[in-house]
């Protein structure tokens, strides 16, 4: 029996085609059947579900390409189920988890475990990366072909850089034979040398060890040298510095197959958010200078930075309520990805479609997913949102198990009203 959902009176947005019109959309059996300005001109057909959009924006659901779900191994911080509910309330219809679980996702059985849990929960679509090296130790590359065959979307050591250049060279060469994407956390560990925040005047005043900006660009430039030798697909995660963004910009100009992303905190905050030893602003790489923050915005605007990922890293209070140097790195981001990305639009840096592209079509293209765009036959993974509704971020209302957000009390604009996966409502504002 055909299951159909009609969306009427919507502002249809598609970043891929540039579509921005008033119209309707029909979903059949979980896929987009048709859409357009005159779709229901002769009346709405018989459907199981009718969604009155009231002129709000109907767009592809967000795809978050960098999430730590903490399951298996640290379920007291987050679970696949709690992360899924948090994602759905943030307008995310698909997310990709890092392999830094316990056990590490470097074996087919763990990839299958993640897929099975996602099927049981039936919320957002959950994919995973597999580790680039066994146990993420940086020495021996994993069985990429087998892991990709079992569902791993790409390969990364998550929050660790692959420091050994010979290992990265072998990994890129091996991945190239399968057309696989290698994702790097670009930080030179030797340059970090115990640092806990951005190196500079503020770190000196606070008496904290600093991490220089060159720790990032040194790794990116080294990796790009290797990429020019091996070929393949290389992606630099969560770039935070002007120098690294410039390195990627030059490499793209030279024709290398390189892409990169950043996270909202790198364009919405600078190092001053650390304030008075505020551990909720401790992230890896660290929040940078105002000049670097502006360079991230420019990188997004001119297309050097391909995508935005939340970099969701949940931690409980025992991990964050510590002296700054001892606290864990990371913040949560699933429920703030949409409004913080929309700040780029509201502040005049990008159009609405350009901002949406960074969290929909761009990650879909990078990861070769069929969603992220309004196409006939594509999954009906959709987001209905109000781009202008003002609200204030309140960590107490988060669905995530953890509350480590530096954005608590921040006024924002833009809210997810309903979220759909394959035409099925998985979240609706009460």
H or E element at residue 98? none
For 334-383, the DSSP string reads TTTHHHHHHHHHHTTSS-HHHHHHTTTHHHHHHHT-S-SS--TTSB--EE
- Under DSSP, the state recorded for 20 is E
Residue in 311, 316, 381, 409 annotated catalytic: 311
CB 259 within 8 A of CB 245: no
How far is the C-alpha of 264 from the C-alpha of 362, rounded, in Å? Answer: 15
- Under DSSP, the state recorded for 280 is G
Q: Which residue has the tokens 């079992």?
A: 150
How far is the C-alpha of 311 from the C-alpha of 69, rounded, in Å? Answer: 11
CB 219 within 8 A of CB 184: yes
CA–CA distances in Å: residue 340 to residues 39, 260, 290, 337: 33, 19, 17, 6
How far is the C-alpha of 332 from the C-alpha of 281, rounded, in Å? Answer: 11
Strands 49-52 and 424-428: unpaired
Two structure tokens written together for 359: 């969290």
Check if 386 is active-site.
no
Which residues are the active-site residues? 311
């Amino acid at each position: 029996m055909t299951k159909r959902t009609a969306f009427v009176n919507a502002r249809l947005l598609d970043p891929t085609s540039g579509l921005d019109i008033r119209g309707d959309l029909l979903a059949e059996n979980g896929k987009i059947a048709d859409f357009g300005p005159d779709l229901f001109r002769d009346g709405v057909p018989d459907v199981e579900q009718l969604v009155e959009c009231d002129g709000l924006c109907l767009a592809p659901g967000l795809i978050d390409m960098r999430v730590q779900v903490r399951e298996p191994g640290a379920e007291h911080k987050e679970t696949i189920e709690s992360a899924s509910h948090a994602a759905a309330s943030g307008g995310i219809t698909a997310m990709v988890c890092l392999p830094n679980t316990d056990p590490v996702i470097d074996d087919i059985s763990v990839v299958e475990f993640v897929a099975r849990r996602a099927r049981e929960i039936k919320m957002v679509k959950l994919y995973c990366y597999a580790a680039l090296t066994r146990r993420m130790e940086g020495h021996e590359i994993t069985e990429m072909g087998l892991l990709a065959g079992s569902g791993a979307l790409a390969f990364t050591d998550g929050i660790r850089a692959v420091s050994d250049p010979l290992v990265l060279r072998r990994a890129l060469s091996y991945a190239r034979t399968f057309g696989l994407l290698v994702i790097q956390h670009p930080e030179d560990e030797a340059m970090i040398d115990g640092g806990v925040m951005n190196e500079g005047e503020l770190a000196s005043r606070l008496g904290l060890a600093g991490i220089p900006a060159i720790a990032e660009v040194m790794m990116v430039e080294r990796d790009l040298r290797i990429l020019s030798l091996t070929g393949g697909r290389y992606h630099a995660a969560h770039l935070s510095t002007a120098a690294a963004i410039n390195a990627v910009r030059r490499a793209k100009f030279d024709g290398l197959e390189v892409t990169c992303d950043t996270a909202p905190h790198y364009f919405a905050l600078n190092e001053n958010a650390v304030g008075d030893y505020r551990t909720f602003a401790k992230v890896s790489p660290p929040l940078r200078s105002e000049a670097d923050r502006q360079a991230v915005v420019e990188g997004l605007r001119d297309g050097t930075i391909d995508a935005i990922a939340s970099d969701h890293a949940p931690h409980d209070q025992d991990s964050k309520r510590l002296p700054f140097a001892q606290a864990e790195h990371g913040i949560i981001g699933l429920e703030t990805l949409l409004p913080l990305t929309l700040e780029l639009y509201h502040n005049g840096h990008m159009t609405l479609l350009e901002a949406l592209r960074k969290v929909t079509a761009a990650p879909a293209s990078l990861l070769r997913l069929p969603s992220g765009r309004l196409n006939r036959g594509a999954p009906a993974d959709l987001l209905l949102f109000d781009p202008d509704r003002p609200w204030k971020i309140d960590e107490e209302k988060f669905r995530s198990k953890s509350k480590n957000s530096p954005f608590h009390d921040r006024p924002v604009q833009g809210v997810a009203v309903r979220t759909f996966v394959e035409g099925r409502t998985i979240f609706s504002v009460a």
